[in-house]
């Protein structure tokens, strides 16, 4: 590849909408790799623009830097995702998002029982008590009879 095909960090920042410091951060985490020119300045591949866009999308979807790094490392030769890669990875994202949405919906529904309650009871609160063992005693905060000490 011709050296002039390489982009300085400011140009990559302009094209991706990322700050220079964010790009340096991703470089430190080895999500992108820059060469150095004779003056020691970073030079990025054009494909790094797509790679950085991928990282931004994945972060917006709630994936950690570690997860994103491992997705990128799983690609042959650690390459930037192609259209085909993106389709495959999108399915992974979709599955993960569906699972997280389902968990959040369950938590939201349990939270409804806490509104106006405030007991934060380890025994009674559905947020602490995912099997909802207290619900058989009725809605709202209450002491679970089976947990009462013998008097």
Q: Which is nearer to ligand FES, 92 or 120 (CB)?
A: 120
- Rule CB under 6 A: choose which of 100, 120, 139, 147 binds ligand FES: 120
Torsional sign, CA 69, 72, 74, 79: negative
Looking at beta carbons only, is 102 or 127 nearer to ligand FES?
127
CB 54 within 8 A of CB 81: yes
From the list 23-31, 34-42, 56-64, 124-132, the region that binds ligand FES by CB under 6 A is 124-132
User: Of 70, 69, 46, 68, whose CA–CA distance to 59 is shortest?
Assistant: 68
Minimum distance from residue 51 beta carbon to ligand FES (Å): 44
The nearest distance, CB 135 to ligand FES, in angstroms, is: 10
Only one residue has tokens 């302009």, namely 14
**Do 6 and 35 form a contact (C-beta atoms < 8 A)?**
yes
Residue selected from 92, 101, 104, 127 as contacting ligand FES according to rule CB under 6 A: 127
The vertex-26 CA angle with 25 and 32, nearest 5°, equals 140
> Hey, which residues between 75 and 114 contact ligand FES (CB under 6 A)?
113-114
141 binds ligand FES (CB under 6 A): yes
């Amino acid at each position: 590849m011709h050296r002039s095909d390489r982009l300085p960090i400011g140009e990559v920042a302009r094209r991706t909408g990322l700050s220079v410091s964010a790009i340096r951060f991703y470089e430190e985490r080895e999500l992108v790799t820059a060469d150095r020119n004779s003056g020691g300045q970073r030079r990025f591949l054009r494909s790094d623009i797509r790679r950085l866009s991928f990282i931004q999308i994945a972060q917006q979807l709630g994936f950690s830097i570690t997860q994103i790094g491992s997705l990128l490392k799983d690609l042959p030769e650690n390459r930037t995702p192609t259209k085909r890669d993106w389709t495959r990875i999108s399915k992974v994202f979709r599955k993960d998002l569906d699972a997280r949405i389902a968990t959040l919906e369950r938590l939201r529904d349990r939270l409804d029982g806490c509104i106006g309650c405030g007991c934060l009871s380890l025994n009674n609160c559905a947020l602490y008590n995912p099997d909802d063992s207290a619900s058989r005693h009725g809605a709202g905060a209450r002491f679970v009879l089976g947990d009462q000490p013998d008097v």
